[in-house]
Amino acid sequence: MERKKVIVTENIAEEGLILLKSELDVDFRDGISREDLLEIIDQYDALIVRSVTKVNEELIKRGTKLKVVGRAGNGVDNIDVDVCTRYGIIVANTPDSNTISAAEQTISLMLSSARNTAWASDVLKSGTWDRSPFRGSELYGKTVGIVGLGRIGSMVATRLNAFNMKVIAYDPYISDERFERYGAERKASLEELIQEADIITVHTPRNEETMHMVNENILSLAKDGVRVVNCARGGIVKEAALLQGLESGKVASAGLDVYEKEPAINNPLFQFSNVVCTPHLGADTFEAQKRVGENIAEQVIKALEGGIVPNVVNLPTLLGEELNYLRPYITLAEKMGNIYYQLAKTAISRVEITYSGPISINETEILTIGFLKGLLEPVLWEKVNYVNARLMAEDRGIKIYESKEEKSTKRYKNLISIKIFNHGNEMEMAGTLSRARDPLLVEINGYETETTLEGYVLIVENEDRPRIIGPFATALGDEGVNIAGMKVARFNKGEKAIMLVNVDNKVEEEVLDRLMKLDGILGRPRLLHF
């Protein structure tokens, strides 16, 4: 039997290449030009890249034999996953390969900054033997505040417990059970954590919510002499605020592996002897790179054999012909899942999903997974995919219950109904497809609506009386925000009502603050993005 062929366009560990060569014909072309790759890609069944090679429609169209694209690393920013899906190509990556390395780098920076190790090393190597400037602090007995208790944060917690530190953590999206499992005391807010911590370490994704989350206001609440470590993403700790804290003495030391602008050259933080800086080394260990190479090789081999791929990112051929029918419902389920954490910041205890109508005769497991993927994506560091979404939900203490009804009890032929419970409170929503088979939210917390889940959607609570909706719409226009559609709903006349407003562009935070002050608007409008 003719062996399948794989081209590797960027460097991976030798162990990965050896594993590939045991099963496939391997063409290792590190640094191949774009033009040359386009010329020969039609010869290969698989493609392995890192972060440089752009896998877009131009390349995919030429790769007529391609069945799988492997990314040796965590992200898939350089791969057009939608195009690969459309062409039936599996995309896989290696999200867990660097977890241990990143956790250990965090602790390395913590120890080095607390004990002035790097500074002392530089001075000694320059020819001066003098211990007096370098007296440091022990980790023993100190309180470490971990922001984000996901894969890496929980691994850091486990290791710091062994240092006999008091471990506290803030993560509103993680269940109590996970805190208990990793020996971390839950804090209800970032402010509460900051006030208690001797050392702060961040382990969250970087997004709109977390960018500059550790800023001047937050650091002003910290103990004098607090220590800060960032081995996650540049910008989670605001560099200007950290600079100010170091200059004032509020911050005793810092350990940094990531920066707001990379490559980081002549960063003002580099001037401080009590700041330990490394050039984004979190994943850069021999062991991590070996795991990356071996893991991506294993996945590519399994994909070409038709086996189950552990870290598949997309759904190119799953369910065969049935997928074409279910695909828009998968999109609907994902977008419904995406709503919760945009509105709430509390851990979920359980989810109940009901499929009603003819859709219920299909294999709905993929819809549930789609919902969980959408639910977790806004708040998780690691990439959520159709293989790991259920496992990630269960790992966070979320119990999932599914049921089916032959007929919908509402006026919609097919309906997905969801109840989300968060330890005493709940959120309900229901969705279906429009005539154009676009995702449509038809109910939220009992309010009936028909809102398209595309782009930006404002959710506004308001008094049910005249001269509320018009002035609100005018105010949006005055702010340069165009309304694409609006639905209003109420339970009973004269009670609280809601507006769901599709808008063409993002509504900035300061605009939401001004809208909240309008007569009859109850609370701050909330902006959803799909």
Active-site residue numbers? 233, 262, 280
Tally Cβ neighbours within 10 Å of residue 486. 18
H or E segment to which residue 431 belongs = strand 426-433
3-state DSSP percent of the chain in helix, strand and coil, to 5: 35, 25, 40
What letter represents residue 221's amino acid?
A: L
Long-range CB contacts (within 8 A, 24+) of 326-331? 326/359, 326/362, 326/366, 326/367, 328/433, 328/437, 328/438, 328/439, 329/359, 329/367, 329/370, 329/414, 329/416, 329/433, 330/366, 330/367, 330/370, 331/370, 331/439
H or E segment to which residue 485 belongs = strand 483-490
CA distance 210 to 377: 14
Give yes or no for a contact between 156 and 222, defined as CB atoms under 8 angstroms apart: no
- Our CA angle for 214, 215, 217, nearest 5°, is 115
Phi, psi dihedral angles at 19 (to 5 degrees): -65, -40
- Sequential DSSP letters for 75-116: --TTB-HHHHHHTT-EEE--TTTTHHHHHHHHHHHHHHHHTT
Those residues whose C-beta lies under 8 Å from the C-beta of residue 9, and which sit 6 or more positions away, are 29, 30, 31, 32, 37, 47, 48, 49, 52, 53
- Sequential DSSP letters for 239-307: HHHHHHHHHHTSEEEEEES--SSSS--S-GGGG-TTEEE-SS-TT-SHHHHHHHHHHHHHHHHHHHHT-
On the question of a cis peptide bond just before residue 263, with omega within 30 degrees of 0, the verdict is yes
Give yes or no for a contact between 92 and 299, defined as CB atoms under 8 angstroms apart: yes
| DSSP state for residue 483 in the 8-state scheme | E
What letter represents residue 401's amino acid?
A: Y
